Structure 1
Amino acid sequence: MSLMRPTAPHRTAGHAARGVRLAAVAAALAAAGAAQAQTTVSMWVHAGPGPERDAYAASIKAFNEANKDIKVDLVALPEGSYSDQVNAAALAKKLPCVLDFDGPNVYNYAWTKKIVPLDAYAPLQAIKGQMLPTLVRQGTYNGKLYSVGQFDSGLAIWGNKKTLTAAGIRIPKGVDDAWTLAEFEDALKKLKAAGVPFPLDMKFNYGIGEWVSYGFAPLLQSFGGDLIDRKTYKTAKGVLNGPASVKAAQTLQGWIKAGYVNPAAKNDGDFAAGKSALSWVGHWVYNDYKKALGDDLVLLPMPKLGAKAATGAGSWNFGISADCKAPDAAAKVLAHLMSKNEILRVTDGNGAVPGTTEAQSASKNYAAGGPLRLYVDQLNKGVAVVRPETPAYPAISSAFAEAMNNIFGGADAQKELDKAAKKIDQTIEDNKGYPSR
């Protein structure tokens, strides 16, 4: 019996054991191969601690969990130094695959080839048709779409209904019922006479930067002026320093001299504290204002200071960098961010206007009848004016902000706008009119 060969069952068990080991090795190799095959997409956003940063972190977590073949590495950077870091990374050809940038930077980034057109990426082709027209226009340069936006923006006038009513001031019901210049200035005069220290809060505490272009260019546009000739984008002469723009700047200067506006405001609380009864600002203050005024808070359309009303538009949006080695994967990330649920995730946090009609309809604030619907109405009814669609925009914004800062302080409006127009035209000339590349 001791010389007998092992029975068949014993031989089968031995082979099975070796088979299990081989299967385990094969599975490990397959897993390693899958890990190696996973595409990494780097992504930068400008966001300090707060609801936007939390929303982006949650969005990317959801994407990574649903897409095992793509891993997004999200980096949130402080807004103050964000543009400088983007420019430095572009010089080193180390931009992330996906990045966000303020709306008017689209054109300069596209012209300098920091970002690539999005039209050819299948996941994004249907999204263009869902976006608000203002966002499509903001994201388009030289006939191509370079960016997609989760949200849009706008200005309107927040009012203290109790104070306005007590002063005998008519409260407009909507875009078609906006105050004229005469009515607007009459309201300021009545509020001042009623003891309101500074009737109109214009957020001078936001500083001298992009707020000046976003917040006060609509003043020029309502009067019939603008920052640049939008037919050619080759000159600011005769437009930025033309009669309509000069009149607008002088009008604002007059409001300051009359004590209607406080150019030295130190914080965001004048309206909430009752020092002002009107506030020239956007949707982002809604939660704080509602908490302070409750049912006395009323939202009013931008006034028709000239032939039409005008409001700012546009906001931060996303694109794919020219340095990205996996643009198809990056396009999938953008498509995810532009889905209804992800748009609502971020706009529920930051209070902005949802960037697609589908998301708007599902928003408690911006759907028909919602408390912030007026911002949508202004975008849809031609009140909104996007910032100039030209690579020269950074120079335009800088020159305009400098001029307006001097005008706020009492400088001659014509002279300051003349200097700004000259600076802008020199920049355009230095860049040979920004020819297509």
Structure 2
Amino acid sequence: MPNTPQITRRELLRSAALIPVAGALAACATPAGQTPASSAPAAVATSAANPFGVGDKPLEVWIFDGGFGQEYATTIHQPLFKSKYPKVEIKHNATKEITKVLQPRFAGGNPPDVIDNSGANAMDFGALAQDGQLQDLTPLLDAESWDQPGVKVRDTLDPAVIDFGTYDGKFSVVGYANYIFGIWYSKKVFTENGWQPPKTWDEFLKLCEAIKKSGKMAPFTYAGKFPQYLYEPLLTMAAKIGGTEVLVNIDNLEDGAWKAEPLKQAATAWAEIGAKYLLEGTAGLDHVQTQTAQNKYKVAMLPSGSWLENEQKSTTPEGFDYAMFPIPDFGSSDKLPYGTLHTQPGENFIVPSKSANPQGGMEYLRAMLSKKAAGDFSELVRTVSVVKGAGDGRPLSSGAKSATEALAAAGTNTVYYRWQSWYAQLKDEAIAATGQLMTGGVTPDQYLERLQKKADDIKSDSSIKKFKR
């Protein structure tokens, strides 16, 4: 592999927007003791127990310090890895600013060995794949499970992990948690006030009106500084109205995909929520502030994923009892039934192809994907793992139980989209435009026209690699 990676215009623009060019690489010099990526790894014999030939080289791990925190890495995954490789020094790091901190490391040719590339500031997977920066993890899938002898890793995983982690025919991203999205609320609050989770959009509007008139709290909020929290229920509603092809067409950059009637109906519906029922000041609040407002009983409902309960564990009052409900039916002609959920693998781990120790990085992921490690993770951070059966027999918190039951009820009626991880420019545009939609800065038609234009620009830009589902 070349010592000087070829960074595309796309990736340079992304990093330049976030980091001053001068001194960027100097600020992220190789940590003391880290072997340069160009050094040839020492040859170590491979076996079923050590399928990648891991030796004694140090292993540098970076964790996104978000909804799941970083404790799971230091108390579950790393001790498990060290139990088999005690001589390997693990250099643990955590940050909320993945792109800002690690993008220069890729540009400098010395990325770390394992990265939890997650959160609002995750690096652009599409650009990393296009530039050959991601290790091919197919050998990981074909390796024997860490703690299930005779079983391949691929056979222990939810099949969606492989679908979502494949870029241009190469499996290179491991989603570790099963993200389950919905509208979250307190069972205590709903029970005390006689409020019922709505099953139709009319019921949802009536509930919002009743909460507003009660004067006890605002009906609804979302992370105003991170409007992707709101475009998630908007897109899920559009898929319910028009079927999964609505989201497939967006992913595939089909002509006019963003102007489809189901998207207009969904955008119009959520714009009404923005105009009438938001917590005051929502546009200026981040996800933690809005979630904390809910914990303080200042707002009744908000959209989020199944990491929410763990993210708020330090501020959630006793007896709050998190629960979630799916996006309500918009009308009787919806193509998808009540209970349809947006769910997909998340908390995405990668092994950079130009790291100093990709062998150790893949083995670290193999340890993570053991049934015990995944089960311990699920129990610690109150969520659902992608490893089959990892949560069996383990106690579930209120929110995790609610999300698990919703997923079971949904059955095969689940939806997802890929464009936000494939095309960072489109994600940036959607974030900005959704914020304006919810504050009345653009009409639903203007909102969709803006997103269609950005999608068309990407489609016609030959420098951007295209993906298809």
- TM-score, scaled relative to structure 2: 0.71
Aligned with 1:322: secondary structure? coil
Q: Report the 3-state secondary structure (helix = DSSP H, G, I; strand = E; otherwise coil) of the residue aligned with 1:311.
A: strand
Question: Once the 2 structures are TM-superposed, how far is the Cα of residue 167 of structure 1 from its aligned partner?
Answer: 5.9
Distance 1:331 1:314 in 2: 18
Provide structure 1 residue ranges, at least 5 long, that are not aligned to the other structure: 1-32, 172-177
CA contact (8 A) 1:236 1:421 kept: no
User: Is residue 156–residue 375 contact of structure 1 (8 Å, CA) maintained in 2?
Assistant: no
* Structure 2 residue 212 is matched with structure 1 residue 192: yes
Q: What does residue 278 of structure 1 align with?
A: 301
Q: What is the Cα deviation at residue 153 of structure 1?
A: 1.2
Could you say which residue in structure 1 is the equivalent of 2:99? 83
1:260 positional shift: 4.9
Give deviations 1:6-48, integer Å, cap 9, x for gaps: xxxxxxxxxxxxxxxxxxxxxxxxxxx99xx943153332344
Contact 1:155 1:375 in 2 (8 A): no
Mapped contact 1:148–1:319 kept (Cα < 8 A): yes
Q: 1:331 maps to which residue?
A: 362
- How far is the alpha carbon of 1:148 from its aligned partner? 1.9
Give the secondary-structure state (helix, strand or coil) at the position aligned to 1:40. coil
- Counterpart CA distance in 2 for 1:377 and 1:45 is 33
Instruction: Spell out, residue by residue over 1:314-345, the C-alpha distance to the aligned partner (whole angstroms, 9 max, x if none).
Output: 32222222114554443222110111222234
Alignment equivalent of 1:92, drawn from 104, 108, 116 = 108
1:74 matched to which residue of 2?
91
Residue number in structure 1 paired with 2:9? none
- Given that residues 57 and 74 in structure 1 are in contact (C-alpha distance below 8 angstroms), is that contact kept between their aligned partners in structure 2? no
Aligned to 1:175: none
Q: By how many angstroms is 1:293 displaced?
A: 6.1
- In the alignment, structure 1 residue 129 sits paired with structure 2 residue 155: yes
- Aligned with 2:297: secondary structure? coil
| Aligned CA distance change for structure 1 residues 156 and 395 (closer, same or farther; 3 Å) | same
Tell me by how many angstroms 1:366 deviates: 7.6
Distance 1:348 1:45, change over 3 A: farther
1:405 corresponding residue in structure 2? 435
Within 1, Cα distance between the matches of 2:117 and 2:295?
31
Matching residue of 1:230? 248
Q: Secondary structure, in 3 states, of the residue corresponding to 2:431?
A: helix
Does residue 113 of the first structure (1) align with residue 132 of the second (2)? yes
* TM-score, length basis structure 1: 0.76
The match for 2:263 among 209, 221, 245 is: 245
Question: Are the aligned partners of 2:275 and 2:438 in contact in 1 as well (CA < 8 Å)?
Answer: no
Q: Name the structure 1 match of 2:182.
A: 156
Q: Aligned pair count? A: 390
Cα distance in 2, alignment partners of residues 57 and 295 from structure 1:
29
Output the aligned Cα RMSD: 3.6
Which residue does the alignment assign to 1:201? Answer: 221
Structure-2 residue corresponding to 1:299: 324
One-letter amino acid of the structure 2 residue matched with residue 76 of structure 1: N
Q: Which has the larger share of helix?
A: 1
Q: CA deviation at 1:398?
A: 0.6
**2:28 aligns to what?**
none
Match of 2:117 in 1: 101
Counterpart CA distance in 2 for 1:118 and 1:134 is: 15
Instruction: Confirm or deny that 1:342 pairs with 2:373.
Output: yes
CA shift in 2, pair 1:377/1:395, >3 Å: farther
Query: Shift of the alpha carbon at 1:291?
Result: 4.5
Is the CA contact 2:251–2:417 (under 8 Å) kept in the aligned structure 1? no
Which amino acid is 1:110 matched to?
A: A
1:425 corresponds in structure 2 to 456
* The 10-residue stretch of structure 1 (137-146 or 119-128) with the greater mean CA deviation from structure 2: 119-128
Structure 2 residue ranges without an equivalent (≥5): 1-42, 45-53, 146-151
Give the Cα–Cα distance (whole angstroms) in 2 for the partners of residues 162 and 209 of structure 1. 27
Rg larger in structure: 1
The DSSP-based 3-state class of the residue aligned with 1:77 is: strand
Tell me the amino acid that sits aligned with residue 285 of structure 1: L
Deviation at 1:401, TM superposition (A): 0.8
User: Percent identity of the aligned residues?
Assistant: 15
How far residue 185 of structure 1 moved from its aligned partner, in angstroms, is 1.8
Deviations 1:282-313 (A, max 9, x none): 33333658943617654333323352334253
CA distance 1:213–1:127, shift in 2 (3 Å): farther
- Are the counterparts in 1 of residues 246 and 260 from structure 2 also a CA contact under 8 Å? no
Instruction: Give how far 1:213 is off.
Output: 4.7
CA distance, structure 1, for counterparts of residue 64 and residue 420 of structure 2: 25
1:66-112 CA deviation, whole Å, 9 max, x = no partner? Answer: 224x62533313122x1133332222221223222138944442232
CA contact (8 A) 1:118 1:124 kept: no
CA distance 1:359–1:162, change in 2 (3 Å): closer
Q: Is the 8 A contact 1:152 1:313 kept in 2?
A: yes
Shift in Å at residue 196 of structure 1?
4.0
How far apart in 2 are the matches of 1:435 and 1:235? 9
Q: What is the CA-CA distance between 1:229 and the residue it aligns to?
A: 6.2
Among 243, 253, 273, the residue aligned to 1:255: 273
SS at match of 1:158: strand
- The answer to whether the Cα contact below 8 Å between 2:177 and 2:385 also exists between their aligned partners in 1 is yes
| SS in structure 1 at match of 2:354 | coil
Residue matched to 2:7: none
Report the CA distance shift for 1:332/1:85 in structure 2 as closer, same or farther (over 3 A): same
Q: Distance in 2 between matches of 1:358 and 1:338?
A: 12
The one-letter code of the counterpart of 1:87 is: Q
